[in-house]
Every structure is written in C-alpha cells, then in structure tokens.
C-alpha cells in the first residue's frame, strides 16, 4: 500500500477563481424581471375586459339558473349523477372567481350583474346551451388576449380561460359529445362575442358602462342534422367514437335579420353592419377562416354548404368540427386568428353557432 500523503496546494501567483457566470438567457421577450401592474392600460383594454366580465356573469347565472330550475331527479333522469351536479355547481363558483378578478382590474367602473333570460326547458337543453356559451367565452377571450396593452392582465386572464376550456369540454361530455374534436381552438372578435351574448341579457343596472363593441344582425344556420349520433340521441359519456354530427358538403340554410333592430340589454343597442351585399359564408373553426359561396340569395336568406377541407391537407382533420362560428360576409378576405378583426367591417350578419361535432 502507498502511504497517505498530505497535499498542500499553494495559490501564490494564481488568480482567484471568478464567480460562476449566470445561466445564459435568450435575448428578447417582454415584461421580464419587471414589476407588473394589473390594471387596464387603454380603452381597448377596458372595453375588452368589460365584455369579458359581462361574459363571466352570463355564464355564472346560466349555471345557477340550470341548477335552480331542475331537481336532482330531473338531472339523474338525464343521466347526470349527483357528482355531475356538484361539478356544475363548482363551475358556477369558478365564474364567481373569474368575475371577481375582472372586477378588481376594472375597479369602480366595473359592470355589475344584469338580468338574464335563457331559452332552455329541459336538462339536455341546459347542457347544450352551456356547452355553446362556454365556447363563446373561450373563443372570445383568446381572440383579444394577445392584443391587450396590459400583458400582465392578459397572463392571468389566460389562466382563467384555460379553466373555461375545461368547462366547455365537461359540458360536451355531459351532452354525450366527443370532448374535443379539433386540433385548435377557434377565436372570434369582441363584436362577434357581444352579438352572441347580448341576446341573453334583458336589462342591466343603469350604472353599468356601455359595451362599445358593434352588435351585428343576428343569423340562424340550420341543417338537416337532428343532432343524433348514428340515429341515437347521445347520452352523457367521457368520450365516444362519433366525432362529427354533420357532413362536409351538406347543405346549410342561412337566414338573418336586417340591420337597425333594437337589441341587447334594455333594447338599448341597434344592430349595424358596414358590409355590402352578402356573398359568402365565413366559417371560423380551428385556424384560418374558410369561405363558401352563397346561393339562392335574397335580402335575408341564402344557402351554402359546409366546407369539405382539412386544415393541413389529406390525413389531417376536417377544418369544420366541434361548435364553430359561421357568418355572412361580403368578401372572402384571407385572415388568420391574429388579424381576425379585419373581418368585422365585412360582416353582413352573425355569427351563428354551428354544431358540427
């Protein structure tokens, strides 16, 4: 064995070791290492967040109305267990939290709850409406989130909207629909969201700030589909092999109101359009907007067909699936989710919610 040797190391003439360098940080990014301000920073912010607050109230009172209107037995007769009913109650409480967050941001000028009227008479109709309304809330928020001047507010709002997407999926499962038959969540503009939401609001406190987004003429879209899966009414399920309720290429009948109708809370808003003659149906689903030409056009009606396209070509996925948005427009502008607001001046009517899957 080698004897133990004591080692002595001299640092004479040797430079002291430098402190380790911090990890490399990629250049770019916004708002890093800053103190965030969770406030509205522009009129765009205020009006977008005020619209969002009205949407949260709408969902909150929709969920409450369904829970109040039907007995536990009626829910069970529709295939929804007491645990399912508790989940709806929990989603209602989530909306309380989302509304409180937006109220804190908007401060003294924040809107207060309004009075609402919801068109459902059965548990199944309540679930179907909730599935559609949460789709509107999610798509609307994702539409303006990246355009907010206050990126700090947008970061927290994104956390709330991620929850909203889970609500939408749960209601789809309650309705016996495939939970998410799409690859991308569609986005809509604030005016589209207000057009869809305002019809449920009957009156609001006089102190509420006016929602400044445009209110388009309403649109109805009907097909020959009866909402069944292989001829059978869907029942609550975690998932199903049926991922579509309509067929690409099938005929769709469109009918719409003329502008100038009084609508919205207290009938205090007029529907307006800046568009020219109706020429196309614009389908907002997944990524880009897809257009189909109108036929049999009159002043307030037309026929079109559901697009038969796939988002990335063959072997990808149908462009139109899930609960999507369809509008009547005067042109077929090429648009992506980020610049979708460019379509607003070209909207003749809509959107209508279209249940493709």
Cα–Cα distance for residue pair 123/144, rounded to 1 Å? 32
Q: What is the pLDDT of residues 149-191, one digit of tens each?
A: 999 999 999 999 999 999 999 999 999 999 999 999 999 999 9
DSSP H helical ranges for 107-211: 123-145, 151-174, 190-197
Cβ atoms 67, 85 nearer than 8 A: yes
The answer to whether 101 and 160 have CB atoms below 8 angstroms apart is yes
Distance in angstroms (rounded) separating the CA atoms of residues 302 and 44: 35
Domains of the chain: 43-203 (1.20.1260.10), 219-355 (no CATH)
Peptide bond into 351 cis (omega under 30): yes
Name the band, by pLDDT with cuts 50, 70 and 90, for residue 226. Answer: low
**What is the Cα–Cα distance from 257 to 224, expressed in whole angstroms?**
22
For residue 28, the SS3 value is coil
Alpha carbon distance 265, 199 (integer Å): 8
Residue 32 scores a pLDDT above 90: no
Residue 223 has a pLDDT of: 83
The yes-or-no verdict on residue 203 having pLDDT over 50 is yes
**Strand, helix or coil at 193?**
helix
Distance from C-alpha of 210 to C-alpha of 204, rounded to nearest angstrom: 10
CA distance 164 to 161: 5
* Per-residue pLDDT, 34: 87
* Res. 332 pLDDT band, cuts 50 70 90: very high
Which conformational region is residue 309 in: left (phi greater than 0), alpha (psi within -120 to 50 degrees), or beta? Answer: beta
In 101-128, which positions are buried (b, 16+ CB within 10 angstroms) versus exposed (e)?
bbbebbeeebbebbebebebeebbebbb
Contact 328, 298 (CB under 8 A): no
Question: Does the pLDDT value for residue 5 go beyond 70?
Answer: no
For the stretch 113-139, pLDDT in tens is: 999 999 999 999 999 999 999 999 999
Largest CA distance in the chain: 104
Q: Where are the alpha helices (DSSP H) in 175-214?
A: 190-197
Mean pLDDT of 11-34: 74
CB neighbourhood size of 96 (10 A): 13
Question: Which regions of 258-322 does DSSP assign to beta strands (E)?
Answer: 262-263, 269-270, 280-284, 289-293, 301-305
> Which class for 2: exposed (0-12), middle (13-18), buried (19 or more C-beta within 10 A)?
exposed
84 contact partners, CB below 8 Å, separation of at least 6: 75, 174, 236
**Closest among 70, 267, 53 to 144, alpha carbons compared:** 53
pLDDT in tens, 246-267: 999 999 999 999 999 999 999 9
> Per-residue pLDDT for 2 more than 50?
no
pLDDT of residue 280: 98
Are the C-beta atoms of residues 227 and 214 closer than 8 Å to each other?
Answer: no
């Amino acid at each position: 064995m080698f004897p133990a040797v004591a080692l002595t190391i001299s640092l004479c003439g040797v430079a002291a070791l430098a402190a380790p360098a911090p990890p490399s940080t990629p250049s770019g990014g916004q708002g890093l290492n800053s103190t965030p301000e969770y406030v509205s920073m522009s009129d765009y912010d205020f009006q977008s967040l005020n619209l969002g607050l009205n949407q949260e109230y709408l969902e909150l009172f929709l969920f409450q109305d369904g829970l109040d209107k039907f007995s536990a037995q009626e829910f069970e007769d529709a295939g929804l267990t007491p645990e399912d009913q508790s989940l709806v109650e929990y989603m209602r409480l989530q909306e309380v939290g989302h509304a409180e967050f937006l109220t804190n941001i908007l401060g003294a000028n924040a809107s207060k709850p309004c009075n609402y009227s919801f068109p459902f008479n059965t548990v199944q109709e309540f679930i179907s409406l909730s599935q559609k309304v949460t789709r509107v809330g999610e798509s609307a928020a994702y539409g303006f989130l990246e355009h907010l001047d206050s990126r700090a507010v947008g970061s927290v709002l994104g956390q709330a909207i991620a929850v909203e997407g889970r609500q939408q999926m749960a209601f789809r499962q309650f309705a016996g629909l495939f939970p998410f038959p799409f690859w991308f969540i569609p986005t809509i503009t604030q005016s589209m969201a207000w057009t869809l939401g305002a019809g449920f609001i009957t009156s609001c406190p006089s102190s509420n700030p006016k929602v400044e987004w445009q209110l388009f003429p309403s649109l109805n879209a009907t097909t020959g589909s009866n909402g069944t899966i292989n001829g059978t009414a869907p029942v609550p399920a975690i998932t199903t092999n049926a991922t579509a309720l309509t067929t690409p290429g099938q005929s769709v009948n469109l009918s719409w109101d003329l502008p100038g109708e009084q609508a919205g809370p207290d009938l205090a808003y007029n529907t307006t359009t800046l568009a020219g003659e109706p020429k196309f149906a614009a389908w907002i689903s997944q990524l880009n907007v897809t257009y189909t030409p109108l036929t049999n056009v009159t002043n307030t009606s037309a026929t079109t067909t559901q697009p038969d396209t796939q988002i990335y070509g063959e072997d990808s996925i149908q462009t139109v699936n899930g609960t999507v948005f369809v509008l009547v427009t005067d042109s077929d502008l090429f648009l992506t989710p980020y610049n979708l607001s460019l379509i607003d001046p070209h909207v003749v009517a809509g959107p209508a919610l279209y249940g493709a899957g």
